Structure 1
Amino acid sequence: MTVRRPHRTARVLAVTAATAALAAGLTACGADAGDDTRPEHRSFALQGRTLTVDSDDSALELVPADGDEVKVTRWFQGSTVIGSDPRTTWRWDGDEDRLTLRLDCSGFIADCSSRHRVEVPRGVEVVVRTDEGSVRATGFRHGLDITSQDGSVRIGNSAGPLRVRSDDGSVKATGIDARQVSVRTQDGSADLDLRTVPDRVDAVSDDGSLDVALPGSAAYRVSSHTDDGSVRVSVPRDADSAHRVTVRTQDGKVTLRTAN
């Protein structure tokens, strides 16, 4: 007698196809933290004059504000089909003035998006360490030290010493009055627009074009180089100048020009 077995293979294929279709649908939708109409708010007492923000998988916006507390607003959207519910956490270490932001979004089909706005008391230096997510900082008059593993960095109207490191993402800084500027990217372009004559600028990239605009009211001691690309220098030059500018990339165009 012949025993007929259920068509298990067909059922597996049907389930797989349905799952793939569901995954494609969720991917097409895409979670957007901007859709969160009820963001959460927290405040933390700052003890010193340096704030450290340690973030993972979130877009960051940093702005100076009045008061003596760090104020954080969080937007979040997320879902998983199979797995634990997504969640975001914030932790404050008062001994180190460190704000840690984390997003846990794991599962068979996970779709999450988070964004944080951090209001920093005026006169405070800011250190940012982020593994994944864009960073935007505007209006700081003291030091900014930003390291991004994966995400763009945008800085506007900054006056303190500026240090930016990006492993994978572009850097754009405009309205910069800093005397000391250091920007390094491994894979991404850098676009810097300075409106005050700097003492020292270092812009280095492994793979990306570099565009640096400087005030034309001074001459600069320039060092520029690219292994694969063009070099254009149109700022006033003086080999003995106290204003030193180094612009180097391995693969990309180098432009050093007078600011408009």
Structure 2
Amino acid sequence: MTVTARTTSPTRVSRPARLRVLALAGAAVVLGAALTACGTSAADDDDEPDRRTFELPGARLTVDSDESALEIVASDEQPAGEIAVTRWFQGAVALGSDPKVTWSLDGDRLVLREHCSGVVADCSSKHRIVVPRGVAVTVESGDGSVRADGFRDPLTIRTKDGSVRVGDTSGPLELRSGDGSVRAEVSSRTVRAHSGDGSVHLVLTAVPDRVESRSGDGSTTIDLPRGAYRVDTSTGDGAEDVSVPRDDSSPHEVTARTGDGKLTVRTAN
């Protein structure tokens, strides 16, 4: 019996198809480069940050930021009537417009914006803002962590999506995060903290007059100096551990609420 071998002709690829394959391969290279370029934070990548000084017309400052990580410092060394801003930025966009960041001072509002859009966009920015003593600061952040240190004047921080950290502060304090943890180690007499989805940890290094804390979904821990406090706590779904001495007539008041998470109010070690 004779067996006839059958051969298969190689598949022919049309010129348009080849061009599409090459285009896709080129895009993949661009995308890989973009992702590699922005794999770490702006502060890690950008070793030549931009610096600028803005004149501040009064004793109040609002920081309006959409995407950047923020570090805000109050300093005796910063001249009155001006703020110093350092900006780190790294960005890469494939198949889109070039990324950029902008900054401007409109009255007492410092506006920080990041423009980064495309088929694949990967950008990272960070700002360090140094303000003089005697300036009350409000931070309004869309998506980015906020850290603040050194304040003796009122400080308010509100972020939609990002953690909040505050240290070395004695002025009135209001902290709010929609989706992120809140932590403060301060000597402020008045502290208000709220997290929609994240833990709250407050460490008071001086006896406060008023502490208010609320957490929708996350644990809450409040460390207080030795003393007696008027304490009001409640949890929706979580254990309570209140070990500080209670005194319903105390001028030092602590109110804490959690929706889902453990609640601890204790004397600091």
Q: TM > 0.5 between the two?
A: yes
| Matching residue within 104, 118, 130 for 1:91 | 104
Aligned residues: 253
- 2:196 counterpart of 1:186: yes
Deviation at 1:168, TM superposition (A): 0.4
**1:67 alignment partner in structure 2:** 79
The structure with the larger Rg is: 2
> In the alignment, is the contact (CA less than 8 A) between 1:31 and 1:111 conserved in 2?
no
5+ unaligned residues in a row in structure 2: which ranges? 1-11
For 2:133 and 2:21, locate their aligned partners in 1 and report how far apart those are by CA, in whole Å.
60
| Matching residue within 5, 30, 35 for 1:27 | 35
Letter of the structure 2 residue corresponding to residue 205 of structure 1: S
For 1:24 and 1:230, locate their aligned partners in 2 and report how far apart those are by CA, in whole Å.
47
Distance change >3 Å, CA 24–CA 37, structure 1 → 2: closer
- 2:111 counterpart of 1:100: yes
Deviation at 1:227, TM superposition (A): 1.3
- 2:217 counterpart of 1:204: no
Letter of the structure 2 residue corresponding to residue 110 of structure 1: A
For 1:229 and 1:9, locate their aligned partners in 2 and report how far apart those are by CA, in whole Å.
61
Q: Report Cα offsets for 1:194-221 as digits up to 9, x if no partner.
A: 01111111100111100000111x2111
**1:142 alignment partner in structure 2:** 153
| Matching residue within 71, 77, 95 for 2:90 | 77
Kindly, what percent of the aligned residue pairs are identical? 53
With the length of structure 2 as denominator, give the TM-score of the two structures. Answer: 0.87
Task: Please provide the CA RMSD for this pair.
Answer: 2.0
- 2:46 counterpart of 1:36: yes
> In the alignment, is the contact (CA less than 8 A) between 1:31 and 1:77 conserved in 2?
no
Letter of the structure 1 residue corresponding to residue 105 of structure 2: W
For 1:182 and 1:114, locate their aligned partners in 2 and report how far apart those are by CA, in whole Å.
28
The 5 A counterparts of 1:47-62 are 47-62=57-72
**1:251 alignment partner in structure 2:** 260
For 2:40 and 2:253, locate their aligned partners in 1 and report how far apart those are by CA, in whole Å.
45
Deviation at 1:243, TM superposition (A): 1.1
Letter of the structure 1 residue corresponding to residue 268 of structure 2: A
Distance change >3 Å, CA 207–CA 147, structure 1 → 2: same
> In the alignment, is the contact (CA less than 8 A) between 1:227 and 1:251 conserved in 2?
yes
For 2:19 and 2:238, locate their aligned partners in 1 and report how far apart those are by CA, in whole Å.
56
SS in 2 for 1:127: strand
Distance change >3 Å, CA 254–CA 17, structure 1 → 2: farther
For 2:98 and 2:34, locate their aligned partners in 1 and report how far apart those are by CA, in whole Å.
16
**2:166 alignment partner in structure 1:** 155
For 2:30 and 2:261, locate their aligned partners in 1 and report how far apart those are by CA, in whole Å.
41
For 1:229 and 1:24, locate their aligned partners in 2 and report how far apart those are by CA, in whole Å.
45
**2:129 alignment partner in structure 1:** 118
Letter of the structure 1 residue corresponding to residue 128 of structure 2: R
SS in 2 for 1:223: strand
Distance change >3 Å, CA 13–CA 211, structure 1 → 2: farther
**1:165 alignment partner in structure 2:** 176
For 2:22 and 2:244, locate their aligned partners in 1 and report how far apart those are by CA, in whole Å.
66
Deviation at 1:27, TM superposition (A): 3.5
> Which segment is superposed worse, 127-136 or 43-52?
43-52
Letter of the structure 2 residue corresponding to residue 255 of structure 1: T
Q: Report Cα offsets for 1:135-181 as digits up to 9, x if no partner.
A: 0001111111000001111100110100011000001101x111111
Q: Report Cα offsets for 1:74-130 as digits up to 9, x if no partner.
A: 011111121111000001113xx1100000001112111111000001121110000
5+ unaligned residues in a row in structure 1: which ranges? none
